């Protein structure tokens, strides 16, 4: 109610006023500020961080709180020493408390305000409920001295229709509780009288009319009659939605009983009425009343909702504040509860409003329990708000396009419950998990929607490969139930959440298929960074019990564990030399065959991964091979592998090497104990599979008479670099694209621009920064030559820095300048860009006619540049000037 009261107040205050707002729910305050900002009228709204800040400089402070303890705590903070030294106590400051609490507590707070001379305190509880608060038709019962009525009344009338002055402070609450005590009794009496007449055979409409024109007439009989069809507009005529809830009625009745005891007033019916309300609350059908109820144990049968979240969901706090009916998302909750009620279920669970997300502990418990809650539900209603099922023939195609099948959380909501009923946007039943099973399997790639638990890790991960979640971490958290694991939530950890999930999974599994993934952005990880890496693993299946004929499937699986050296695992290893078809661009690779799997359409195909052996100069690791994995999964024909291994063994023996394979690996196929390290524990290069394209813009150089000398080859170590012309640009100054194949470490390219008149040559060096943790992948260096030459016996070989092999990166920078012979200067700037599919980096070469050195190189880089300029001539005696 407080939200809607504040909306009406803000709209009617002049624009010169400022309205400070505070609530323990920051999201609600932010929402209020955004909503009122859009109106561009009424008082300015300022969100504050605490109640003291809200009240300190305000002329009038209005509080609306649920319980007496809340009122006392709030005013305890307000009346503490001021926040600022400049604050001067204002004895005329007005406090209006609209909470419904007991008069004694209200008087206690009033005395504290008055005794500290910090203002005037009045009580003004209201009647009219959420409807009245929204419409601005509330009735306020004011307890205040006569001198304050004229000051308070105009403020209350901005939020309501009537103000009844009941007397001095506390009188408003006394009047409110006396009225609500009578209402509580009349509610029971009206319900019993209507039930009695109906048991005697009277028509309820006739009986209701009789009572309302006779002496038994009261508000529950004439306005809020509990029987359907008696009074239009009553909650009973709306399937009992809205109205004054049982819990609120019980609360006010209890406050009236307490106040009566303090006043020495005898209430014969009070305690008995309280018992009636408590019993009714326990028996209440919550799918009818749409009120929240908490169960610690003995959870009753319930329905559960699966849906896509929108930006206008009804949250837990919204229901607590009676704001639910005013929000667009309420219709979805209403539809779920209506369907549950029609199916005979008294309770329904909806994640958006049944989890208090302001409590991190409750949120963590809920997410860790989510799979169980869906599994234990009697029925799951899958609400597809982007499907219209009016045309039954079009339903299959519309289901294929529904976003519900693309969300991460809906995967467990599909698989966990036994019964899933699908509804379109109008709550039209369009089928069940059983009746639509074949279509759903086609959409999701899940063959068996009921007996899916025996699927291997890789296959389960593949079901989530093309699904998405709003938060990156949720892509891991939404899969915990599928693998029956639990872990704490750490929002902000990014893809580490998915890696933690995999580590939790392997703690209780010997399933090696968690390694069956591919990530073209190879970072040398043991674990995949997202389910997307498993998109090609949907065809992997566990071997049946009788599939033990091949070497790779013989014997039991062995446990694997995470250690400080990496993943300790036993794996079938085959040197890549034995499999000529497998090459990873020069890397020394091995093939690790995953134990106990085949592909669904080819019994002979076995998943495998590529491994790099780490050469460690220490005897510590002699008994335990250490590898880093290349992030590619492939499928091999096991018969073909065995045949090629046999050929390779024969060749090794013929060469006099019968006892070993390549490196430390024995004759294949053999199971060996190995360690998989996330990245090399020795100083090797960082490889990231794929390529990086760099645009080089040299138009400024071109205007000074320099042109690209394309006849001079790039520096090429293992074929890392290549040169292409860009499609953009004009004339001879067409920008060039240089491409770096990131599988090759320790390499740099040199590009030459020659002045046709002076023969001066500008050399641009671009080096791969092999410090893979750095966000800057490349560095640049600049140098100049008086001329370029060819040697007698070969084309000129561009220089390679000795630092390439002695350190992890070539010395360079992303901004650098160099002086030209004619007094001008050339500068190179390297920038990473986004939103371009053709290249990811741009190097701009610019000439400054004044010779300004915009980005001076360091001493070490100067040495590198000097070396670059002189080592060009380190070959045979030059004979030809280019």
Task: Give the pair of three-digit tokens for residue 697.
Answer: 């813009």
Q: CB-based contacts of 630: which residues, under 8 Å, 6+ apart?
A: 522, 584, 587, 589, 609, 610, 611, 612, 687, 689
Distance CA 500, CA 479 (A): 12
Q: 635-656 b/e with 16+ CB inside 10 Å = b? A: bbebeebbebbeebbeebeeee
Using CA atoms of 860, 864, 870, 874 in order, give the dihedral in degrees to the nearest 10: 120
Task: Give the pair of three-digit tokens for residue 192.
Answer: 């019993």
Rounded to 5°, the CA angle 144-147-149 comes to 55
Closest to 681 measured CA to CA, from 566, 805, 528, 561: 566
Closest to 798 measured CA to CA, from 722, 745, 874, 732: 874
Q: 362-374 b/e with 16+ CB inside 10 Å = b? A: eebebbbebbebb
H/E stretch holding 428 reads none
Rounded to 5°, the CA angle 414-420-426 comes to 105
- Are 371 and 416 within 8 A, CB to CB? yes
- Are 171 and 263 within 8 A, CB to CB? no
Distance CA 768, CA 871 (A): 20
Distance CA 270, CA 249 (A): 12
Distance CA 201, CA 182 (A): 28
Distance CA 882, CA 880 (A): 6
Active-site positions read 176
DSSP per position, 365-427: HHHHHHHHHHHH-SEEEEE-TT---SSGGGHHHHHHH-GGGGBSHHHHHHHS-S-EEEE-TT-
Distance CA 318, CA 4 (A): 12
Q: CB-based contacts of 552: which residues, under 8 Å, 6+ apart?
A: 572, 593, 595, 606, 638, 641, 669
Distance CA 569, CA 611 (A): 13
Q: CB-based contacts of 361: which residues, under 8 Å, 6+ apart?
A: none
Dihedral sign (CA 337, 338, 340, 341): positive
Q: Based on the number of CB atoms within 10 Å of its own CB, is 44 exposed (0-12), middle (13-18) or buried (19 or more)?
A: middle
Identify how many contiguous H helices and E strands the chain contains and give both numbers: 27, 33
Exposure of 875 in the CB half-sphere (CA atoms within 13 A):
17
**Token pair 């949720």 is at which residue?**
474
H/E stretch holding 566 reads strand 566-575
Rounded to 5°, the CA angle 621-627-631 comes to 165
- Are 146 and 160 within 8 A, CB to CB? no
Distance CA 777, CA 771 (A): 8
């Amino acid at each position: 109610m407080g939200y809607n009261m504040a909306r009406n107040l803000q709209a009617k205050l002049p624009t010169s006023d400022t309205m400070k707002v505070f609530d323990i729910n920051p999201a609600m305050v932010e929402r209020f500020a955004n909503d009122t900002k859009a109106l561009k009228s009424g008082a300015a709204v300022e969100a504050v961080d605490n109640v003291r800040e809200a009240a300190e400089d305000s002329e009038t402070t209005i509080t609306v709180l649920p319980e007496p303890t809340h009122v006392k705590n709030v005013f305890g903070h307000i009346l503490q020493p001021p926040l600022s030294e400049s604050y001067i106590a204002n004895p005329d400051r007005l406090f209006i408390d609209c909470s419904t609490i007991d008069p004694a507590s209200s008087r206690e707070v009033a005395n504290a305000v008055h005794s500290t001379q910090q203002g005037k305190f009045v009580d003004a509880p209201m009647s009219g409920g959420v409807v009245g608060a929204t419409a601005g038709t509330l009735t306020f019962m004011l307890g205040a001295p006569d001198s304050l009525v004229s000051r308070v009344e105009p403020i209350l009338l901005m939020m309501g229709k009537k103000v009844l002055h009941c007397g001095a402070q506390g009188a408003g609450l006394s009047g409110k509780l006396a009225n609500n005590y009578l209402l509580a009794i009349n509610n029971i009496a009206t319900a019993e009288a209507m039930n009695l007449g109906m048991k005697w055979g009277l028509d309820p409409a006739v009986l209701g009319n009789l009572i309302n024109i006779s002496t038994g007439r009261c508000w529950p009989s004439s306005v809020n009659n509990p029987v359907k069809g008696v009074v239009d507009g009553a909650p009973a005529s709306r399937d009992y939605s809205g109205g004054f809830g049982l819990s609120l009625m019980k609360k006010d009745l209890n406050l009236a009983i307490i106040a009566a005891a303090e006043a020495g007033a005898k209430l014969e019916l009070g305690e008995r009425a309280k018992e009636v309300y408590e019993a009714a609350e326990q028996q209440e059908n919550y799918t009818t009343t749409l009120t929240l109820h908490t169960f610690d144990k003995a959870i009753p049968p319930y329905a559960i909702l699966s849906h896509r979240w929108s930006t206008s969901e009804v949250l837990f706090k919204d229901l607590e504040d009676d704001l639910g009916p005013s929000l667009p998302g309420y219709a979805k909750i209403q539809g779920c509860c209506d369907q549950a009620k029609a199916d005979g279920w008294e309770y329904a669970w909806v994640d958006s409003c049944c989890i208090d997300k302001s409590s991190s502990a409750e949120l963590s418990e809920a997410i860790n329990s989510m799979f169980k809650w869906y599994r234990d539900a009697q029925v799951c209603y899958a609400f597809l708000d982007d499907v219209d099922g009016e045309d039954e023939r079009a339903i299959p195609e519309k289901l294929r396009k529904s976003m519900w099948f693309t969300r991460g959380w809906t995967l467990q909501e599909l698989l966990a419950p036994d019964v899933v009923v699908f509804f379109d946007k109008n709550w039209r039943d369009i089928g069940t998990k059983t009746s639509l099973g074949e279509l759903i399997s086609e959409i999701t790639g899940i063959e068996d929607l009921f007996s899916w638990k025996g699927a291997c890790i890789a296959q389960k991960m593949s079901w989530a490969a093309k699904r998405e979640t709003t938060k990156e971490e949720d892509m891991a958290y939404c899969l915990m139930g599928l693998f029956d694991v639990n872990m704490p939530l750490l929002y902000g950890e990014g893809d580490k959440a998915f890696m933690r999930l995999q580590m939790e999974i392997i703690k209780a599994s010997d399933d090696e298929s968690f390694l069956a993934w591919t990530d073209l952005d190879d970072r040398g990880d043991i674990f995949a960074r997202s389910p997307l890496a498993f998109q090609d693993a949907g065809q992997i299946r566990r071997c049946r019990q009788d599939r033990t004929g091949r070497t790779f499937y013989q014997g039991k699986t062995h446990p694997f564990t995470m250690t400080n050296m990496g993943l300790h695992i036993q794996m079938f290893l085959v040197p890549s030399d034995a499999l000529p078809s497998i090459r990873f661009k020069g890397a020394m690779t091995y093939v690790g065959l995953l134990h106990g799997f085949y592909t669904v359409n080819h019994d002979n195909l076995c998943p495998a991964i590529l491994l790099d052996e780490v050469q460690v100069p220490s005897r510590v690791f002699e008994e335990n091979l250490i590898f880093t994995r290349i992030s590619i999964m492939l499928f091999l024909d096991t018969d073909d592998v065995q045949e090629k291994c046999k050929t390779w063994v024969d060749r090794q023996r013929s060469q006099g090497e019968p006892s070993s394979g390549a490196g430390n690996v024995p004759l294949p196929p053999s199971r060996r104990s190995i360690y998989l390290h996330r990245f090399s524990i020795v100083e090797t290069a960082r490889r990231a599979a794929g390529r990086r394209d760099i645009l080089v813009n040299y138009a400024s150089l071109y205007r000074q008479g320099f042109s690209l000398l394309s006849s001079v080859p790039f520096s090429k170590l293992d074929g890392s670099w290549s040169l292409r012309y860009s499609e953009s640009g004009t004339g001879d100054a067409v920008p060039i694209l240089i491409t770096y194949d990131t599988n090759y470490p320790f390499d740099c390219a040199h590009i030459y621009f020659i002045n046709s008149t002076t023969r001066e040559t500008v050399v641009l060096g671009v080096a791969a920064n092999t410090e893979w943790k750095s966000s800057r992948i490349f560095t640049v260096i600049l140098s100049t030559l008086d001329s370029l030459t060819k040697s007698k016996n070969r084309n000129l070989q561009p220089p390679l820095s000795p630092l390439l092999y002695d350190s992890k990166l070539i010395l360079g920078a992303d901004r650098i300048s160099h002086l030209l012979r004619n007094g001008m200067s050339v500068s190179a700037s390297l920038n990473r860009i986004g939103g371009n599919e053709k290249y990811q980096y741009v190097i701009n070469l610019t000439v400054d006619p004044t010779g300004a050195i915009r980005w001076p190189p360091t001493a070490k880089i100067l040495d590198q540049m000097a070396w670059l300029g002189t080592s060009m001539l380190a070959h045979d005696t030059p004979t030809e000037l280019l």
